[in-house]
Amino acid sequence: MESLQNSQLFRPFAYIDGNWVAADSGEQIEVDNPATGETIGTIPRLGRAETERAIEAAEAAFPEWRALTAQERADILMKWYDLMLEHQDELALIMTLEQGKPLKEAAGEIVYAASFLRWFAEEARRIYGETVPAAKGNQRILVTKQPVGVVGAITPWNFPAAMITRKVGAALAAGCPIVVKPASQTPFTATAMALLAERAGVPRGVFNVVPGQASEIAAALTESPLVRKITFTGSTEVGRSLMSQASQHVQKISLELGGNAPFIVFEDADLDAAVDGAMASKFRNGGQTCVCVNRFLVQSSVVNAFCEKLAAAMNSELRVGDGTQEGVNIGPLIDSDGVEKVSRHIDDAVEKGAELLLGGHRHPLGGNFFTPTLVSNANQDMLVAQEETFGPLSAVFSFDDEEDAVAMANDTPFGLAAYFYSKDLSRVWHVSEALEYGIIGINTGLISNAAAPFGGVKESGLGREGGHQGLEEFLETKYLCIDLG
């Protein structure tokens, strides 16, 4: 087995104020490879006191960081971008060993993650203000943008690199220092990136990584009046609690939460293209992505043909295994809870009348591996219609007409991503406007891009990441009223 210990970028420490540190208590968290169950290393379990020190370090670093010119901050971000690409393979291996996604996909995530550093480096120089015609002739109104201040970020295990750069790139470009709590399952990608940030010239205190006890770290971040912005990617349940915690000091907050993505296939769609898009969206990271398809809604006249084509693609294209092995494109799920949830959704669907077309069971490899599964005849009473499965289960529902499809798609408290396939231009507009989602993929299953605003409506979150909108989240608007006398 490949070893993490051989990697030059392997850093089993927290990173505070430019120092690699242990927990005050000396406690450690074991990090396991989800493909083998082996412990690949340990990371300090930080708590409140260390997080408070990281916040103070960030606050101390703020004046100098914000005082750099946008070009100077951009140059550092670009250097970090270059270093991530230079170390793409090594970072990908760290990610695969701790997260499980296949190496090729992990390498793709490194490029995606780095693209946020480049994007925000470019955007840093476009933090424009405005002048506004004043109500009085002797006055002038100016609107300026300033960095919000110290940021607290909490990031998930499913995209251990990209969910960090999407937040850190924007914060740093805006002039804000940041304290990041990475997921306990995937801390080594975060610390490897911190090492590269240090090499790129990110000054001490500007980017801090505090792995450890989630509730204590979240409490330290939300209870500190020094932290002016919280940004989180993860479950709606945790997001809701952070939102109420952040109210104490009225911190600005961005939340990228759960989804329940519909993928609608209309009868006028190119079915082969729809199946390609379905495969790309559904099986990204083994189904463990907040924008992965959760519900295939297919017009009744083409549902059988779509199921046949999707079954054929799943049979021929998917290879389950340890992500370090050549040819594998579906890794393990992150842990046994993930496996249990997929099993529960399948059992519930079959019990309530779904037809099992493929899979339906754990994979013969055992552990956290699950066999890609396809069910048809799904309905709104099933768990798979109500909750994000976060695994390789494709559930196909059928609908009669456009109105029916839109109603089914919107029948959820979530509103992150939705997809649909149609060649009818008028339908493309109508359905795009009617879907209550923040992101719509039209004739495509892949929507993620640094230049685009990523985020949801309803219980899928607040705010946007990426795009120029992603930078706004880390800026305050200031209005200057100048009286000329």
Q: Are 345 and 383 in contact (CB under 8 A)?
A: yes
Nearer to ligand O=CCCCC(=O)O, 159 or 232 (CB): 159
How many other CB atoms are there within 10 angstroms of residue 92's CB atom? Answer: 24
Nearest distance from C-beta of residue 308 to ligand O=CCCCC(=O)O, angstroms: 29
How many other CB atoms are there within 10 angstroms of residue 14's CB atom? Answer: 29
Nearer to ligand O=CCCCC(=O)O, 183 or 339 (CB): 183
Q: Which phi-psi region, left, alpha or beta, contains residue 303 (left: φ > 0; alpha: ψ -120 to 50)?
A: alpha
Nearer to ligand O=CCCCC(=O)O, 284 or 345 (CB): 284
256 has catalytic annotation: yes
Q: What is the DSSP letter of 398?
A: E
* Active-site residue (options: 256, 388, 402, 472): 256
Specify burial of residue 452 (Cβ count, 10 A radius: 0-12, 13-18, 19+).
Answer: middle
Specify burial of residue 36 (Cβ count, 10 A radius: 0-12, 13-18, 19+).
Answer: middle
Q: Are 432 and 417 in contact (CB under 8 A)?
A: no
Nearest distance from C-beta of residue 395 to ligand O=CCCCC(=O)O, angstroms: 19
Distance, CA of 469 to CA of 463 (rounded, Å):
8
Nearest distance from C-beta of residue 169 to ligand O=CCCCC(=O)O, angstroms: 13
Q: How far apart are the first and last CA of the chain?
A: 75
The residues facing 295 across adjacent strands are: 262
The residues facing 439 across adjacent strands are: 417
Nearest distance from C-beta of residue 163 to ligand O=CCCCC(=O)O, angstroms: 6
The residues facing 130 across adjacent strands are: 143
Amino acid identity at 112: Y
Nearest distance from C-beta of residue 285 to ligand O=CCCCC(=O)O, angstroms: 8
Give the C-alpha distances (Å, rounded to integers) separating 32 from 190, 306, 370.
15, 38, 18
Q: Report the interface residues with ligand O=CCCCC(=O)O, using CB under 6 A.
A: 158-159, 162-163, 289-291, 448, 454
Nearer to ligand O=CCCCC(=O)O, 345 or 464 (CB): 464
Nearer to ligand O=CCCCC(=O)O, 163 or 310 (CB): 163
Nearest distance from C-beta of residue 376 to ligand O=CCCCC(=O)O, angstroms: 26
Task: Report, as residue numbers or ranges, the catalytic residues.
Answer: 256
